Amino acid sequence: MLEIRDIVCGYGGVTALRGISLQVKAGQLVALIGANGAGKSTTLRAISGLVPLRSGQMFFDGKDITAARPPRVLASGIAHYPEGRRVFPHMTVEENLDMGAYLRNDAGGIAADRDRIFTEFPRLAERKRQAAGTLSGGEQQMLAIGRALMSRPRLVMFDEPSLGLAPNIVERTFAIIRGIRDAGTTVLLVEQNAFAALEMCDQAHLIESGRIVLSGVGAELIANEHVRKAYLGG
């Protein structure tokens, strides 16, 4: 579904990715793990078109998206859940969801998708006219995930979805992400919580200093000596 071939990119004089190649098959949950600054987020940003490539190629469903700008990548079916602040704080819950459908212009379909998200997360429905900045951390997280789904993506890329959240909400977030995969949407997950990511994924890649140093199914990586020492604390 998504194929990346040997991409190299960086910020100014710093090279962040030194030739990353990976494949994401339809219906899979693929995890990228690694330390801070290894290039996980940059990989997602490169796919989104936020960071221009120096070399390499990217294909989504056979279409070349190597030089595509962010709106085109999104329109082709890839949603990006960025790292950091998750919602538009002064907009209402409803407006936040509508922002996720910014590039769509089928009002009926948008309303139906919004209702589906409200059914899935009743807490959001209760607060739909409330400013998103007044929601609790967990509610903001659900809103952010709902928003990412509003573009009707076939592939969702999550960047550090557990960052800064209470443990019970992290648990809930991972359950929702698994649910998204089970419902048929492909997921590419960047996560610092390596153990949780490896446990839930179908396929995982370990990134170190801008290169993929290890790939395999989750269980393989969990069993790997190097991964255990460096990322799983044992």
Strand pairing partners for 64? Answer: 59
Q: What order of strands is seen across the sheet that includes strand 14-24?
A: 14-24, 2-11, 55-60, 63-64
Site string for another protein, 140-179 (x = CB under 8 A): -------x---x----------------------------
Residues 3, 23, 35, 88: which binds another protein (CB under 8 A)? 88
Is 131 among the residues that bind another protein (CB under 8 A)?
Answer: yes
**Dist. CA 1–CA 6, nearest whole Å:** 16
Tell me 49's DSSP state: T
Q: What angle do CA 19, 22, 24 make, to 5 degrees?
A: 155
Smallest separation, CB 57 to another protein (Å): 23
Stretch that binds another protein, among 31-39, 68-76, 170-178, 206-214 (CB under 8 A): 68-76
What is the residue type of 71? Answer: P
Q: How far is CA 35 from the centre of its chain?
A: 17
Is 217 among the residues that bind another protein (CB under 8 A)?
Answer: no
Is 103 among the residues that bind another protein (CB under 8 A)?
Answer: yes
Residues near another protein (CB under 8 A): 48, 50, 69-71, 74-75, 79-91, 95, 98-100, 102-103, 130-131, 133-134, 147, 151
